[in-house]
Each structure stands twice: as structure tokens, then as C-alpha cells.
Structure 1
């Protein structure tokens, strides 16, 4: 019996691993074909073109074949280094553009960094992007490659913006804070950048729900969605909550709030980049959990 097929790019990252785990917990309803960077060089346009051609040729054997692209250059400060620009552009802009040229539905993961952070209220899908960093600009290019593609109807591709992603595995802010706290080190954390911490497992659950809906309807209900866990906080608040939840023995007086000016970085961060998630609830009946609840859930 034929069934759907999911091509997963960025399978070794925190979101890719989360999607793999979530599909396994659901009994693997679709054939999953995961790719790591070692298996497919996303910056090699010829290799990507060959892979896409194979996926399209094999698609006739399945009810549908979808590409979920979690691959990206996400080292925001390193992205400002001119020596990294070629790879940055290849992964964040050219890879989505190549995928857009296929005849396959694409789910593209994007970021709050496409906004400048100056609005002061949660960003909705219809708000105009104004990225301030090279990372944000290349991610916006990747969005446009799919959203503005002239051949396919808009519903054939879906861009999902998320933010402040973390997981119980991989490299992320929460795990870094916990590692340093376990070592008993004093911590200075920025307290004037506001966002919504989002667990990769919760985003994976939402993506798998959307895939299930696509399986039934053979279309996406929109071309652009925001997904983040509910609630907003600063990086300091997140560090405090993560350590208090996971390492109650740590002396929290060693955790000091500081301003962005006291912690200069190569890339400009949005000061306020909370994403509004009304649309994902209205269209897919997905209610993101509170970020604090996801921290507690990660212990379990």
C-alpha cells in the first residue's frame, strides 16, 4: 500500500531529531528519509539538484512526497564573518530556492530574525519583515524563494517561522546555561531582549500535525505560519527558569542580569521579537504550550 513520504533535511539538528522522534512515537505513519549534512552537502547545488531529481522520480511510488527543510546556517554571529558568506547564502537562501523549483511540497523553517524587533507588539504573519543581520537577511531570501515562486500555488509550500529554539539535545542556549551552572560558574545573561522560548519537541509535534492534515487534504491551509511557545521572557528569565527547574542546588545569586550593551555581539539581535501564533491555532487548532511547561516537560 502506498503512503506519504517525508524527506527530512537537517535530520541531525535539534528540530530534525525532534521530528524523527515524534514520527516514531506516532508509529511512523509515513516513510521518513532523513538527510544529515554528511549525507547531503546542502551547499553543493549540483548534489542538491541530483537529490531533488531522484526524489521527484521516486515520488510516483507514493501518495505524496514532501520535503521538510530544517537545514540552515544558524550561527548568527559567525554569519557576519565575510569568510562564511558563501556557505551562509547557500544554506539559507539558495537551498530553499532550489527546493522551490521542484514539484514537491516544501515545509521551510524560518526565524524571528526576519523582523527588526522594534515593533513592541507580537509579530503577525502579515507584518513586514525588516531583518537587521546577515543571518536574518539570508533567511528572508529563503522565505521569498518559496512564498514568491511563480510556478506553484502558494499553498504548495509552507514557511514556518519560529524563535529561541531549544531541545533537551543538541547545541542551544538552555543546555549551555545548564552546563555552565553544573560547573558552578557565575553567569551574566542579557535581560533586555524579549522573545518566546520554543522547545523543538513542541514544534515537531505541530509540524507532524500539519503533515497529517496535508495527508488528508493534499494542500496546506496557508503559506506562512508563526509557531512559538506561549509567553514571553528575556534570556535572563529563561536561564533563571531553566536552572531553577533542572538544578535547584545552583546558587541563583551567581546569575546576574545585564544589558545588551554590556554583551556586544557581531550580529544585531531583535530587542523584541515575540511571534503571534493566532493563525496556527485558527487554521490547525494547534495551541502552543507555555514555555515554562515545556521546560518542566523536558525533565520527564
Structure 2
């Protein structure tokens, strides 16, 4: 029986994979928290992997505090870059399959069309730079790896835009949301299913793939969809990024082109609104 290691097991994607794992009993699952697979401690990481002995590694763990990364560059680099090199080296040396999760923040946001897997990367914040360094280290150490870039992840787990907006719309009468950053949200449950579709596919085609839900929207439009589905009585207004200062810059346009993952592995790419509705129904329970 093949053993699947999931790093970042308590995060949004790791939590969705834990739910999904019940449908994939042909695998032995190992969900590792920060103590079992320490992405921030390179001195023990290799020995931890040797002890677990996975056949398949789903590297869902990451340093994702985008603004905090601006002042915690070294820690972000260890988790998002150097630890990835260690994991990819283990995968290569032990003939293990590796799927590593990356981000739309590897782009600078100047594109006007959906970004495919060969689009030019040029991160504009520390988080994006460390994630791009992780991608490069991953492919250098293990050319057989698969990297999935995703964007705007949300779920019933952890902290995310959908849960924050739902809470604020209950608490406030008015809300301002940035309307000039364009992309598409990703329901973590759909990303988890995409990963399992790849793992159970006859073909293992190494390389970079994009995955998010379908739809080209701004954060403001995303907030309006949350308001509509949740029937929140709150006045939501759109504002430019210049009116909402954050320590880290965000790409203005980072819509991902998902055709490659759909055609290579037959991965379904559902519409964002259908998935948002599903998630918000679960949040009500």
C-alpha cells in the first residue's frame, strides 16, 4: 500500500484532503503537523521524512502570511524555498512522487489575459519571491515533480476571505473591498479533488499546472457574491488598492489559465459561484 504524506495538515488544503482521504482507502495516509514535518527546521526535516517513508508527498505546508513575510523574509524563505528543496531531494532519491503547491503571487499582475504555465514570473512581494524560489528549487532537485499554482484559497477551515467577509457583513453596516485586483477564488475542496484526480490518473506528467475555480472577478465582486449567497444586510463598496494600504503589494491581475490541468488529467474546474455556495452552506451548519 502506498503511503501519502500531507504536509501542512492543519491548513485549509490539508484539512480538505483529510476529509477526502476517506474516499481513498487504497492509500495509507499520514497527515503531518508542524512537529511531525518541520518545514521551518531544516536540521530535522530530512530525518523526519526518512522516518515516515512516504511514496507520495503532497506539500501543502507554506508560510502564507503575505504581509508579515515582508519583515520575516528569512523564515518565509526557509519554509517556502529551502524546505521545498529538502523535500524534493528526498522525493528524487527515494523515487517518491511529489506534488508541491504554489501560488499566483509568482506573477507581477501586469498581464491582461489569463496566465498560463509558461507566462513570465516576476513576484512583487517577499511571499511571491520565496514561493518562486521554492518552485525553482523543487524542479531543480526533482524534475519529476508536479507543481500546482493556485489562488485566493478559501474553505470552512482556518482564516480566509469568505469567513472574514461573512463575519464583517454580520457585524457592520458598511464595508469597503478592493475592486482593482482581478483573479479567481479556489475552494480548497476542489483543489484537494484535483490533486486526487492526478494521483489516481494513469499518467504522471511532471511540470507546472494551474488550478483555481472558473470566473474572472475582483475581490469586490467576490465580496458581493458572498453577500448575495449569505443574504447579508450590509452596504459593500468597491475601492482602489491605493485606498487600502498593505505592507506587501498584490498583483493587480493574476487570473490563472486552467486548460493544461483539465486536458492532461481530466481535472474538473467548477465555477466559483457554485463552489462558494457549497462552502457557505457548510459554514451555516
Which interval holds the TM-score relative to the shorter structure? over 0.9
Match among 245, 248, 257 for residue 267 of structure 1: 248
Aligned to 1:189: 177
Distance 2:16 2:233 in 1: 31
Distance 1:264 1:189 in 2: 12
8 Å CA contact 1:23–1:208 kept in 2: the answer is: no
Q: Is 1:34 the counterpart of 2:31 in the alignment?
A: yes
Matches within 5 A, 1:285-300: 285-298=266-279, 299=281
Q: Is 1:66 the counterpart of 2:56 in the alignment?
A: yes
Aligned to 2:19: 21
Distance 2:86 2:195 in 1: 22
Structure 1 unpaired stretches of 5+: 60-64
8 Å CA contact 1:113–1:270 kept in 2: the answer is: yes
Match among 90, 110, 113 for residue 78 of structure 2: 90
Aligned to 1:251: 233
Secondary structure of the corresponding residue to residue 101 of structure 1: helix
Q: Displacement of 1:281 after TM fit?
A: 0.9
Secondary structure of the corresponding residue to residue 53 of structure 1: helix
Match among 103, 107, 117 for residue 111 of structure 1: 103
| TM-score normalised by length of structure 2 | 0.93
8 Å CA contact 1:196–1:231 kept in 2: the answer is: yes
Offset from partner CA, 1:30-84 (integer Å, 9 cap, x none): 111011114332111122111122234xx6xxxxx11111111101011001xx1
Q: Displacement of 1:251 after TM fit?
A: 2.2
Offset from partner CA, 1:156-197 (integer Å, 9 cap, x none): 211000001000221101100001112234211000100101
Structure 2 unpaired stretches of 5+: none
Offset from partner CA, 1:109-156 (integer Å, 9 cap, x none): 00000001101110000112111111000000100011123xx4x2x2
Aligned to 1:239: 223
Offset from partner CA, 1:10-34 (integer Å, 9 cap, x none): 000000001111121x142211101
Q: Is 1:199 the counterpart of 2:187 in the alignment?
A: yes
Q: How many residues align?
A: 277
Match among 108, 115, 121 for residue 129 of structure 1: 121
The alignment yields a C-alpha RMSD, in angstroms, of 1.4
Distance 1:78 1:28 in 2: 38
Aligned to 1:174: 162
Measured at CA, do residues 38 and 51 of structure 1 come closer, stay the same or move farther in structure 2, by a change above 3 Å? closer
Distance 1:79 1:251 in 2: 35
Distance 1:175 1:196 in 2: 17
Distance 1:260 1:275 in 2: 20
Measured at CA, do residues 285 and 142 of structure 1 come closer, stay the same or move farther in structure 2, by a change above 3 Å? same
Q: Is 1:282 the counterpart of 2:280 in the alignment?
A: no
Secondary structure of the corresponding residue to residue 7 of structure 1: strand
8 Å CA contact 2:36–2:48 kept in 1: the answer is: no
Distance 1:209 1:91 in 2: 27
